[in-house]
Structure 1
Amino acid sequence: MKIVAVIGAGTMGNGIAHTFAQNGFTVKLIDVSEAALEKGMTTIFTNLDRMLAKGSITAEDKMKTITNIICYTDIEDGVVGADLVVEAATENLDLKLRIFRKLNELCSHNTIFATNTSSISITRIAAEVAHPERVIGMHFMNPVPLMPLVEVIRGNQTSDEVTKITMTLAQKLGKNPVEVNDAPGFVANRILMPMINEAIETLHTNVAGVTEIDTVMKLGMGHPMGPLQLADFIGLDVCLSIMNVIFEGFKNPKYAPSPLLVNMVNAKKLGVKSGEGFYDYSENKKAEKVAKQFL
C-alpha cells in the first residue's frame, strides 16, 4: 500500500493526510473547496513547523512530508490509483453515503474504503458499495499527528483480511490500533459523549458553573481537560450530531442530548471554531463563561 486518498481537508482530514505523508505514503488530499485545501495545507505547514521547533522532526522530514501531499478538488482525479481511500468529510450520514456511492463507481473493487466517522454505522455505509467486506472504520483522534489511538471498527461484513491490513497500517503510522465492533458511538464516543452531555446537563440544571464542573473533573478525576472545555474543542455541533446518532441507535432516553447543548448549537455557539462556546475564545477577551445566556 503506497497511495492513500483522503477526502476532506478539514481538521481531521488534514491531520490524517499529514500523518500518512509523514510516514512515507503518497497522499492525495481531496476537497471540493479550494479554500479548504489551502487552509488544510496551511495547518499542516504550521504543525510541521511546531514539530521542527520541538526537535521531533528534521527539516528534511518536513520537506518530504509536504512533497508527499498532492491536492485535488475533483474526487475522480484524486482517487485514481489509490490503494486506500479515507473519508474524513463532515459527520453527516447523507453526505457520507453520497461519497461512498461515488467511490464505488470510481475505484477498483480491491481498493479499501475507510471512514473516519466518529459514530455513524460502518455497516450502513458499507451497504452503499459493492464488496462491502472492504469497508472499515478508522477513527483517528484529534490532533491526529499526536494522538496515538486509532479505533478500527469492523462492520458486519468487514473481512478479516481488511481488518488485519488496517490494523497493520495503523501500526506503520506509529499508532496503537484497537479493534472494535460496529455499534452507535463505537467505544470512544459511546463513553465520552454521554459524559460530556451529562456535564452540560449538570450546568443546565444549575448544579455548578462551567469552571467549577471542569475543575472537579480535572482535579478529582485526573482528566487533562474538563468536559465542557473538551466539548468546545470538539465542536458543540459535532457533539450534538454524535449524541443524536447514539440516541437514535439505542432509543434510550439517557442518551437524549441536553436541551442546553441543542440551544447552543442553534445559536451557533459551537466552541473554538465559532469563537464562543462554554468559554469565550475571541482574541480580545479572556476565556469566560458564556453559556449562562442559554440557560
Structure 2
Amino acid sequence: MTNNVQKIGVIGAGTMGTCITADLLFHDVPCVLVDISEHALVKAKAEIEKVLRFAVTINKDLPKVNAADAMKKVLFTTDIREVADCSYIIENVPENWEYKESVYKQLDDICGEEVCYAANTSCLSITKLGAATKKQEQVIGVHFMNPSYLKNTVEVIKGYHTSDACVAETVNVLKLMNKEAIIVNDYPGFVSNRISHLFMNEAAFVVQDGVADAAQVDAIFKKCYGHKMGPLETADLIGLDTVVHSLDVLYQSYQDSKFRCCPLLRKMVDANLLGRKTGRGFYKYG
C-alpha cells in the first residue's frame, strides 16, 4: 500500500466501528462501513455526523472538516461484498469466535490476496483469528482505544504468522490517522487488556466487599496515581457486559484464577446496569 491508501473497509458499526469511521473521515480517508443491521447503520451515521461536528471542541488537534462533505466519503451498507475494492480492512464485530470466524471466511472470498485484515479485538488471539483465513500472514491486531479519534496511540499485535509487510502497512495506515503504533506480540489480552481488566475486576471486588464505593476507588486512581479515569469509570465507558466477556475469555485462555470475574459485575450485567450504554452502571448517566 505504501503511502497510497485508496479505501478502508470497516466491519461492524458498533461503538468502535463508528468512532474508527469518524476517525478515518477526520483524516480524509474514504471508507465503507458494514453491519448486518440497518438500525445499527442509521445510528452510526447520526453519531458520526455528530462527532465530525463537535469532537474538535474537545480535541483541538483534530483536523477541521466539513461534516457534510466528509460524510460523502463513507458508504453505509449491509452488504459485506462492498469492501471488495478496499485496500485495508478493520474488523470490529462482537467478541464472539463464531461471528468473527464467519466474517474472516467471507472476507477471504471477497478481498484481494494483498489485503490485510486488522482485528480490533480486546482479548482474542490474533494467531487464532489468522487461522480462520487462507492468509494468516496478513492478519494483525489493532487495538484502538475508545474513542479512537481522541487517542493518538494504538496497540498493534503481531500474530505468530503476521508478516513484516503487514506490520509496515498497518503502521502506515495509522500514520495516515496521525497515530503512533506500539507493536507487541500475541497472547490473549495482549498488554492493555491483560492488565487493565485486572484493575477493573479487582476494583469491583473492592466495592463488593464494602471497602470503598465506586467514587472513592476511582478518586484514589485519579488523585493518587494521576490516571485520567478510574477503573470503574473505565468499565462503565467500555460496557460492563464487554468487561465480563473479556474476563471470561482471559480466564478460559490462561486458566488462571486471577481473571475470575467478580460476582458483582455479573449481577450488574444481569440487571442491565451496563454503564454509559444503558444510562447506569457504577454511576448514573443522562
Normalising to structure 2: TM-score of the pair?
0.94
Report the Cα offset of residue 64 of structure 1.
3.8
**Do the aligned partners of 1:120 and 1:185 also contact (CA within 8 Å) in 2?**
yes
**Do the aligned partners of 1:51 and 1:57 also contact (CA within 8 Å) in 2?**
no
Distance 1:241 1:247 in 2: 10
**Do the aligned partners of 2:95 and 2:121 also contact (CA within 8 Å) in 1?**
yes
The total of aligned residue pairs comes to: 280
Distance 1:52 1:247 in 2: 39
Q: Does 1:8 align with 2:9?
A: no
Distance 1:111 1:43 in 2: 28
Distance 2:245 2:153 in 1: 22
**Do the aligned partners of 1:4 and 1:85 also contact (CA within 8 Å) in 2?**
yes
| Corresponding residue of 2:178 | 174
- 5+ residue gaps, structure 1, are 284-295
Q: Which amino acid is the alignment partner of residue 80 of structure 2?
A: I
Query: Where do residues 64-143 of structure 1 align in structure 2 (5 Å cutoff)?
Result: 64-76=69-81, 78-143=82-147
| Corresponding residue of 1:190 | 194
Distance 2:229 2:132 in 1: 38
Q: 1:130 to 1:47 in 2, by over 3 A?
A: same
Report the Cα offset of residue 165 of structure 1.
1.1
Report the Cα offset of residue 21 of structure 1.
2.3
* Greater mean deviation of Cα atoms: 259-268 or 39-48: 259-268
Normalising to structure 1: TM-score of the pair?
0.91
Which of 265, 279, 284 is matched with 1:280 structurally?
284
Q: Which amino acid is the alignment partner of residue 36 of structure 1?
A: A
Distance 1:59 1:199 in 2: 40
Q: Does 1:248 align with 2:252?
A: yes
- 5+ residue gaps, structure 2, are none
Q: Identity, % of aligned pairs?
A: 36
CA RMSD of aligned residues (A): 1.5
**Do the aligned partners of 1:112 and 1:135 also contact (CA within 8 Å) in 2?**
yes
Distance 1:17 1:52 in 2: 15
Q: 1:59 to 1:3 in 2, by over 3 A?
A: closer
| Corresponding residue of 2:149 | 145
**Do the aligned partners of 1:240 and 1:261 also contact (CA within 8 Å) in 2?**
yes
Moved over 3 A (4+): 51-60
Which of 22, 45, 63 is matched with 1:41 structurally?
45
Report the Cα offset of residue 179 of structure 1.
0.4
